[in-house]
Structure 1
Amino acid sequence: MSSLPQEPSPLAGESDRDTAVQRLQEAYAEGHITHEEMDERLDRVLVARTRGDLAQALGSLPPEKPGTSATIGALSGRIVRRGPWRVPRTLRVESAFGRVHLDLSKAVIEHPVIDIVLGLGTGRAKITVPRDAVVDLDGLKSGWKDTVYRPPRNASGGGPTIRFTGAMGYGRLRIRHARR
């Protein structure tokens, strides 16, 4: 009796590694793993080639809490979120040809840090963040046009940190703080 060869595990991308690192940091912060164990697992995550390697590095961690990760996407057309909507801990936004408008000014934000992972081809994206939010753009790659963001002059801080990662293709990203 011969067994069929198993399909190889898909290759791990930067966003997969980023998500794994976040899970390890959260597990450490919640006391599920020690500092030494987190360091060891982080090393394994950073050199992982496949998603299977990442799964092994995350083995024995408690399952992710429901509602901590979500993906919204469209091939073409618009993605719009505004008003009182619940923002997950990690939000993936994927759009090949459309426009994206996310308004977080009235959204329900339950986490001190929100990661927004952008995967945008062409088109524009406009994101409004709460007035007191701290914006981190260090992990965002832009292919064609620069991201437009000006921190408020009298930033009070104290709000959630919103980290943007991922990649923009040929569109432009505008981020602004809510006026009220």
Structure 2
Amino acid sequence: MKLVVKTPWVEVKLPQLSGRILDVGGGGEGVIGRTARGEIYILDISEKELEEAKSRGAKGEFIKGDARKMEFPDEYFDTVTSFFSLMYMRDSRKVLKECYRVLRKGGKMLIWDAVIPRCLIYNINVIARSENEVIKAKYAVVFPAPQTCEQIENLAKSVGFEVVRKERHEHWFYLELSKV
């Protein structure tokens, strides 16, 4: 097992998002809150991370809360996003189940996240490109659980999501999921 894993910079293309959007774990860099248009809700368990996202220019309603038990009504959002956030959450299945619940039928969940090997510290550096902005973001996890695209894909399917599109890269992955 490696002690520290540092990836090279990876480049991620962001779609233009609009409508009612929930960004799960959207504090910190606030990438989705800085690039999406519409009614944006930024959920994070950490007040400090929400404040950081605000200071970086994220726009929307900032909500301190646990993604495993959200206080939103069923089928409330058009889109749910998770931008390099699942790697910080210990019960991804519960998070995905809640995301499925709050997403409207026909809605999409978009997940960008890291492929994490066994290690003590994991670092990934991301260049996020949207239509109007380029954001450089650095993420680090101490004592991370190993994570793969297949693992998150299987969890998503187990709660009812259908996989519309997937991209697997050496250090990261993207899943576009649909609630049918």
Higher relative contact order (CA 8 A, sep 6+): 2
Larger Rg: 1
TM over 0.5: same fold?
no
Structure-1-length-normalised TM-score: 0.32
